[in-house]
Amino acid sequence: MEVIIVAAVAVGLVLVTIAKGVRLVPQGEKYVVQRLGKFYQTLNPGLNFVIPYVDTVAYKVTTKDIVLDIPSQEVITEDNAVILANAVAYINILSPEKAVYGVENYQIAIQNLIQTTLRAIIGEMRLDAALSSRDHIKTRLKDGISDDIADWGITLKNVEIQDINPSETMQASMEEQAAAERQRRAAVTRAEGEKQATILEAEGRLEASKKDAEAQIVLAKASGRSIELVTQVIKEDELPVMYLLGEKYIESIKTLSNSENAKTVVYPADLIGTVKGLMSRVK
């Protein structure tokens, strides 16, 4: 009976020893092996053998691309504007032993590194440039951290700026500024329109005045010419002159009588004498 128990224990010990000596590493992972507490080797995917009780698998590291979501943070630009920025990074572990021994927690370390680098880049830019230069920020961010994480056996495959927006306070200020700018432009447009209307109106009055003056000059010249012609024709004969002046006199009195302000129209009793009196004044 004792022999059977000893044999069973021995067989169990052998099986356990074999199990500890065989390591099946799945695809997409690598195992970091320590021998007596010190790094010994990295096991690749597939069947691997280690020394039982001496070699131990200390870390299991994925070789797939890791997506790191960088939390949103407040960043102050060069012109003291506050914006919110976050990012996402895609990394791949090339040397698992460097990743686990080179830094305490490589994911947290990379997140902090990206955040500090992002703050430094945006802090050198003005608000308008920061909001419109995502590709420029991404390129500088990738160049700034690639060499640092390479020391940890990690490569940065890509980094993208997810959101970069002004803070709520800055958005309110920008909206007020935009509204004020729109009101200013509207006021300028109205003032410019009123100015142009005033100029056009003044030009119209000036042009009308010029035309009126030219018309008066033409009429004066025509009247002078007609008087000269009449003078040459009638010479010393007063009868035609009396007829013309009398006709004009009657027309003027008729116009006066049709006026709304005229209440009473008085005709001279001696029309001929009146005309002769006008002629004597003309002479």
Nearest-CA neighbor of 31 among 69, 58, 68, 67? Answer: 58
- Provide the pLDDT for residue 249: 61
Say yes or no to pLDDT of 196 above 80: yes
Band of residue 6 on the pLDDT scale cut at 50, 70, 90: confident
Question: pLDDT per residue over 24-63, tens digit each?
Answer: 999 999 999 999 889 999 999 999 999 888 888 999 999 9
Say yes or no to pLDDT of 278 above 80: no
Question: pLDDT per residue over 99-153, tens digit each?
Answer: 999 898 999 999 999 999 999 999 999 888 888 888 899 999 999 899 889 999 9
DSSP code of 30?
A: E
Tokens describing residue 272 = 């001929």
Nearest-CA neighbor of 161 among 183, 188, 141, 145? Answer: 141
- Provide the pLDDT for residue 197: 84
Nearest-CA neighbor of 68 among 26, 109, 122, 118? Answer: 109
- Provide the pLDDT for residue 219: 75
Band of residue 262 on the pLDDT scale cut at 50, 70, 90: low
Backbone Cα Rg of the chain: 54
Return mean pLDDT, the chain.
80
To the question of pTM greater than 0.75 for the whole model, the response is no
Domains of the chain: 2-61 (no CATH), 66-172 (3.30.479.30), 211-282 (no CATH)
CA 110 – CA 145 distance, rounded (Å):
8
Reported as type and span, the H/E element at residue 161 is: strand 154-166
Distances (CA, A) of 202 to 65, 106, 192, 211, 212: 76, 79, 15, 14, 15
